[in-house]
Amino acid sequence: MCGARNVRAAAAKQRRSKLGAMNDATDTHCPYCALQCGMGLRRTEGPVPVSVVERPGFPVNQGALCGKGSNAAAVLGPGARLTTPLIRRDGELRPASWPEALDRIAAEVSGTAASYGRDAVGVFGGGGLTNEKAYLLGKFARVVLGTSAIDYNGRFCMSSAAAAGIRAFGVDRGLPFPLEDIPRAGCVILVGGNPAETMPPFVRYLRELQENGGRLIVVDPRRTRTAELADLHLAPRPGTDLALALGMLHLVVADGRTDEAFIAERTTGWAETRAAAMAHWPEHVESVTGVPLPQLRDAVRMFCDAGSAMVLTARGPEQQAKGTDTVSAWINLCLATGNAGRPNAGYGCLTGQGNGQGGREHGQKADQLPGYRKLDDPAARAHVAAVWGVDPDALPGPGRSAYELLDSLGTDVKALLLMGSNPVVSAPRAAHIADRLRSLDFLAVSDVVLSETAALADVVLPVTQWAEETGTMTNLEGRVILRRKAVDAPGGVRSDLEVLHELAGRLGHGEGFPTEAEKVFDELRRASSGGPADYAGISYERIAAEDGVFWPCPSQEHPGTPRLFLDRFATPDGRARFTAVQHRPAAEEPDAEYPVRLTTGRVLAQYQSGAQTRRVDALNAAAPGPFVELHPQLAERLGVRDGDRVAVVSRRGRTVTPARVTTAIRPDTVFMPFHWPGEGSANLLTNPALDPVSRMPEFKACAVRLERA
């Protein structure tokens, strides 16, 4: 093991030497998506203190950056970000000192807990926080506040894929194999993802796949930039991905293409799953999904003839009220064909947020403790409590999921501490969530910009950004990487770790909340030791030397685990588990009053709620505002032309936005990006119906009508 580790370290050193003249730049990573592309930051003179340069030595992106990454430094400028605490006085947010702001938060939190109980204080985190921040925030909630009311916006990202992965494989890691394996597969089915716009440097892996003779199948109701690359594009109605996967498995069985040896040796539960698939005959699946039967047969042929194949899911199938079952159906397809637990094959999820993986591994999620341990597991509670120096019985139990927590604001939860999230724009049924936030007795927000959510707060704390602090992130392939501080933050700005340290001290916990990221990480390593996501053998030194380390890595001598499941799955018996699932309609189907399906997503130049990217001139020039995408047939029926303002109305709200008329979408479906607030906000319309397992809201399918505005 040590020999292999030394070889990797030497290779990483050789890659870094290619930087040449860029050696004066600080090696770090992009602040946006879960690729966590490597980049360099070089000091400059002027209001923006650094410029972004390429870092060709980092293997994930080899220097390539999208427009968001190339322009990431713009948010460090003085006009884009907060530089002083704010306190609401006479209805207005006004500048305040740090002691005043922190004293106010501590007083409000302690007063709320004394009056209503500990669970009346809530904590809401973010999938962009470093591992250190996510870990310390979870510890703060459970040790200092003693509240079960904690969750984070990563619940809206890939929680359905995580739940399906755990029940099939025993553990969840976005990709159980490194990105470099994707081009080596014979076929990849990409379900409900558009990386050409959401994570452009990823596209090189798809191009390499095709250059190597592999086939790419894209499943999406829109003909996106990614779908245009595909050898086969399947365009199902939104909310029918589960039926599509079941129809494909039916054909696999009917055509005798199952891998019976793999099923017998490495899986359980096949008989029930086979019976469920056979109930979804192809003609019925065609009528449900709108995907022609010949295309369905072509997809099965490509997948099964490939030799080795992968299924990658993204938000399309996951952000549904049946998202967990939908992902399980795609996993079943991999298992039935023997495409799991062997090289260059398997199921994976394209995590969206920058630290969507690490953010849930270490304690922000309502039901989890560090190391991906379950909060209701006595052994897990005992281990983590020992690291924290507390009684296991003092730790609260599991709390509400993200939407349920937000929905309880002002009733059960009276005060909320929010760090690195903007639910006024990103949550489903957004107007209702804004009302819930306004109904709180007290709201404190820690952020780098004055987001739409921060604008509602009683106290706003300005905190450091990615280039102004050091910390680790875990990318979509389970690679733990190190962001390095490149520049000092402006005066008046503190780190989230300092915020938690200061608040913990004011609330009677002067020890256990370090402000140095590496000290926090070393404690995280101990807390995660022995858990499914074991970071015990990962150190800052190793990450720097090896271009990141893949978890699990239980000791300093362990090489890390780029590829899971090659020998056994992470279940008690080592076998993967089939899950028998049945298709069911979306929570809200079209009817006479709301006859059109709405689906939502992202565009190339903006990111998530847009709180940061909307402050960058170059990105706004490329994507200046919201729109609704509709097919010419639908536009003709409505008398709408390209550019006309259109009202989109659901049972929850109404938006008004320009029309984009295009043949790239189904005639029965419209699409809206969700990056903007105000009258064009897509999440005014979306449905908060929750998946019963993952508690994921149904962002991807709801019923709407369109009107000329």
Question: Mind listing the pLDDT tens digit for each residue in 593-639?
Answer: 999 999 999 999 999 999 999 999 999 999 999 999 999 999 999 99
Q: How far is CA 44 from CA 27, 73, 75, 149, in A?
A: 15, 11, 15, 43
CA distance 428 to 156: 9
The encoded tokens of residue 313 equal 């899911």
pLDDT digits (tens, 9 = 90+) for 630-669: 999 999 999 999 999 999 999 999 999 999 999 999 999 9
The percent of residues above 90 in pLDDT, for the chain, comes to 94
Give start-end residues of each CATH 2.40.40.20 domain in the chain. Answer: 596-708
Give start-end residues of each CATH 3.40.228.10 domain in the chain. Answer: 159-354
Q: Domain 86-152+366-550: give its CATH architecture.
A: 3-Layer(aba) Sandwich (3.40)
pLDDT-derived band of residue 536, with 50, 70 and 90 as boundaries?
A: very high
pLDDT-derived band of residue 24, with 50, 70 and 90 as boundaries?
A: confident
Q: How far is CA 239 from CA 242, 377, 449, 508, in A?
A: 8, 34, 35, 49
What's the average model confidence in pLDDT over 568-584? Answer: 98
CA distance 494 to 502: 11
What's the average model confidence in pLDDT over 440-460? Answer: 98
CA distance 310 to 347: 6
pLDDT-derived band of residue 78, with 50, 70 and 90 as boundaries?
A: confident
Q: Domain 159-354: give its CATH architecture.
A: 3-Layer(aba) Sandwich (3.40)
Lowest mean pLDDT among 69-78, 298-307, 445-454, 532-541: 69-78
Q: How far is CA 38 from CA 16, 221, 422, in A?
A: 11, 32, 26
The encoded tokens of residue 308 equal 């080795």
- pTM for the model stands at 0.95
CA distance 379 to 192: 38
Q: What average pLDDT is seen over the chain?
A: 95
Dihedral of CA atoms 23, 28, 32, 37 in degrees, nearest 10, equals: 70
CA distance 629 to 632: 10
pLDDT-derived band of residue 20, with 50, 70 and 90 as boundaries?
A: very low
SS3 at position 330: helix
Query: What are the two backbone dihedrals, phi and then psi, of residue 698, each rounded to the nearest 5 degrees?
Result: -90, 75
pLDDT at residue 160 tops 60: yes
Domain 596-708 has CATH 2.40.50.140: no
pLDDT at residue 70 tops 80: yes
pLDDT at residue 18 tops 80: no
Percent helix, strand, coil in the chain, to 5, is: 40, 20, 45
Q: What is the pLDDT of residue 5?
A: 59
pLDDT at residue 19 tops 70: no
pLDDT digits (tens, 9 = 90+) for 205-244: 999 999 999 999 999 999 999 999 999 999 999 999 999 9
Q: What is the pLDDT of residue 494?
A: 98
Q: What is the pLDDT of residue 360?
A: 87
Give start-end residues of each CATH 3.40.50.740 domain in the chain. Answer: 86-152+366-550
Q: What is the pLDDT of residue 21?
A: 37
Q: What is the pLDDT of residue 22?
A: 44
pLDDT digits (tens, 9 = 90+) for 237-255: 999 999 999 999 999 999 9
pLDDT at residue 14 tops 60: no
The percent of residues above 70 in pLDDT, for the chain, comes to 97
Q: What is the DSSP string of 131-198?
A: HHHHHHHHHIIIIII--S-EEEGGGGTSHHHHHHHHHHHSS--S-SS-GGGGGGSSEEEEES--HHHH
**Euclidean distance between the first and final Cα of the chain, in Å?**
65
